Amino acid sequence: MTAPGFPLVRWGPFVRGVVDDGNPLLDLVGSARYIRNGALSGAGRLLVRPGTEVALTLMDDQGTPAEVTSVCAIIAFGDGALAVGHSTVTSKFYLYWLNDSLTDWYNLSKALQGTTSPLPVGVLWSGAGAPENVFIAEGLGVAYLAHGNAATNFKTRKFDSTAGPPATLTDFQADLRGSGLEDTYFRGVVSFQQHLWGWGYGSQAASDNDRPELLRFGQPFFAAMKQGDSFAVGHRVRSYRERVVAAIVAGSVLYVGTNYSLWPITGFGRNSWDKSRPVDDSYGFAGPFAGTAARNGWLYYWSHRGPLRVIGLNAPEPLFEGLPKATGRVVSDTKIVATFDADRDQVLFLYQDQTSGRVSRLAAFDTLKEIWLGPDGDIGLGVRSAALVQPTLAPAPAGPPTTASTTNIGSTVATANWVNGEAGPGTKTQVEYRQQGAGNWIVATQSVAAGQTSYQITGLQPATAYEWRARHTRNGQGSTYLGPVAGSQFLTTNGLAPPTAVALRFKHVGGGGPL
């Protein structure tokens, strides 16, 4: 349902992990970014939006590293994130290990590097001239990565952050045809009930390489798969029309989608998994990233007809009638990217707009208010993948700022100084001030960066007594305040005294001079 005039609904403050599609019409490519501070009106416009912000620029592995030309995937991983970049210059796919705030990156030795230009922790695939969708599944600190068009060229890879240091990047092997462990060539992977699932597989045998409808799962857990551990979706079996497009976990269900059908797998482990019938034989996943799990077990996804949602084994509920404007302007359904913003309860659909043809537009479904927000104008970049990357441990600041002092006191400004009680990544300092004795604190800033120890308060009145207080914030949690104490109380000056004894005279230099 649309709701013109719906009150301003902000989303954000961040949906981290939107990554660049490498659209040649855009100025910047190869960057992992985050969208933040957007505001959807519900009537069709995104009203307040600084847009996207370049968080990290992914570099290749050349002697003099250059920016990659596309970022193909991003996913929350452990207490950080993983991203995959591709370069048309080197024809390689690269794996990057990022921190959870997308402000730093790890090397293979697990050390944060303190820059915003990550180097890869490894090369995933070489001899790859074009970017491609990449699927990443995580299990207990181990990531499995599949090339979306693996064929017999691009092996499924395994990144183990629990090994070492250094962490390891190896080929993922399984016994898919009863011939012992071999390299694998899955087209997609997902983690479900402590098992790794892969689809479109195959084994090293050329005749066994393409099973578009078949899923394999690891047994036990994320260990090597065996030949008999499989599910097939579709009614015809071995039909390209029933190729698995994506598999998404929502609630207790693994939804396996083809372009035109949706198959739920439920149960309580491999001995009870069931895939007896589809919940939909008409609508499936438009593209590999067109669906996302949302709150309370709902799966929201975009089909060739537009958005739908489903829960459990129920029949999917069409949502596309509420968004005709959006569905009529999508250039390519297969490139739609969906993600769930758990900070704002909204499912975001990003898609290439037919009008501009170069940037992604945004529509969102508010899962609490049951209302469509948008669609809206462009967000400034093409989007290939998106993920909400949230801290898993969410540490609060270790302690408040200490040792307040106030310097450079003028008639309208003063500088607050402190000693940091927490300076770890992601820490910010919030400074507030007020006239001494006044009731309400005025927030001067909420975003003094980690490590900084001063902030100039402006806009003060001359000859007035003020006081300030400060606290650290991190992961949405705040420390106790420093102040008000003697060192944070000050009196602004009474304006500047003017010059005195002012005089004007004339002089003549050179020539005949005065008469």
Partner 1 sequence: MAQYDPDAPGQWYAVVSWHNSGEGGVSTKVYFGGPFGSPPASETLPFVGTAGPGIASLQINLGSDPEQGTYYAQVRHTKVGSPDSDFVPVPPTDTVGPA
Q: Which two tokens stand for residue 252?
A: 């207790």
DSSP state string for 227-269: EEEEEE-SSSSS-GGG---EEEEETTEEEEE-SS-EEEEBSSS
Q: Which stretch binds partner 1 (CB under 8 A): 80-88, 236-244, 380-388, 456-464?
A: 456-464
In the bound state with partner 1, the residue whose beta carbon lies nearer, of 99 and 417, is 417
Which of 24, 228, 437, 511 is close enough to bind partner 1 by CB under 8 A? 511
Assess 493 for contact with partner 1 (CB under 8 A).
yes
Assess 445 for contact with partner 1 (CB under 8 A).
no
Assess 491 for contact with partner 1 (CB under 8 A).
no
* Contacts of partner 1 in 390-419 (CB under 8 A): 408, 410-414
Look at residue 487 and give its three-state secondary structure: helix
Distance (Å, rounded) from C-alpha 434 to C-alpha 467? 6
- The nearest distance, CB 493 to partner 1, in angstroms, is 7
In the bound state with partner 1, the residue whose beta carbon lies nearer, of 402 and 407, is 407
Cβ-contact 199, 242 below 8 angstroms:
no
Assess 464 for contact with partner 1 (CB under 8 A).
no
How big is the chain by its Cα radius of gyration, in Å? Answer: 28
- The nearest distance, CB 410 to partner 1, in angstroms, is 3
DSSP state string for 364-394: EEETTTTEEEEEE---SS-EEE------SS-
Which of 25, 130, 206, 502 is close enough to bind partner 1 by CB under 8 A? 502
Assess 127 for contact with partner 1 (CB under 8 A).
no
* Contacts of partner 1 in 43-62 (CB under 8 A): none
Assess 462 for contact with partner 1 (CB under 8 A).
yes
In the bound state with partner 1, the residue whose beta carbon lies nearer, of 276 and 505, is 505
In the bound state with partner 1, the residue whose beta carbon lies nearer, of 409 and 423, is 409
From the list 358, 387, 332, 379, the residue with the least C-alpha distance to 22 is 358
Partners of 139 in the β-ladder: 142
- The nearest distance, CB 490 to partner 1, in angstroms, is 13
HSE-CB of 232 using CA atoms within 13 angstroms:
14
Distance (Å, rounded) from C-alpha 247 to C-alpha 143? 16
- The nearest distance, CB 417 to partner 1, in angstroms, is 15
Range list of H helices, 17-64: none
In the chain, the N- to C-terminal Cα span, in Å, equals 91
Which of 153, 458, 477, 480 is close enough to bind partner 1 by CB under 8 A? 458
Which of 206, 393, 443, 509 is close enough to bind partner 1 by CB under 8 A? 509
Assess 507 for contact with partner 1 (CB under 8 A).
yes
- The nearest distance, CB 428 to partner 1, in angstroms, is 24
Q: Which stretch binds partner 1 (CB under 8 A): 38-46, 80-88, 431-439, 507-515?
A: 507-515
In the 8-state DSSP scheme, what is residue 319?
Answer: -
In the bound state with partner 1, the residue whose beta carbon lies nearer, of 219 and 411, is 411
Q: How many residues bind partner 1 (CB under 8 A)?
A: 31
In the bound state with partner 1, the residue whose beta carbon lies nearer, of 180 and 513, is 513
From the list 114, 11, 14, 66, the residue with the least C-alpha distance to 386 is 14
Distance (Å, rounded) from C-alpha 148 to C-alpha 385? 13
Residue 511, sorted as left (phi over 0), alpha (psi -120 to 50) or beta, turns out to be: left
Assess 25 for contact with partner 1 (CB under 8 A).
no
From the list 395, 294, 396, 414, the residue with the least C-alpha distance to 348 is 294
- The nearest distance, CB 458 to partner 1, in angstroms, is 7
What does residue 297 show for φ and ψ, rounded to 5 degrees?
A: 85, 5
Assess 454 for contact with partner 1 (CB under 8 A).
no
- List interacting residues with partner 1 (CB under 8 A): 408, 410-414, 456, 458, 462, 493, 495-515
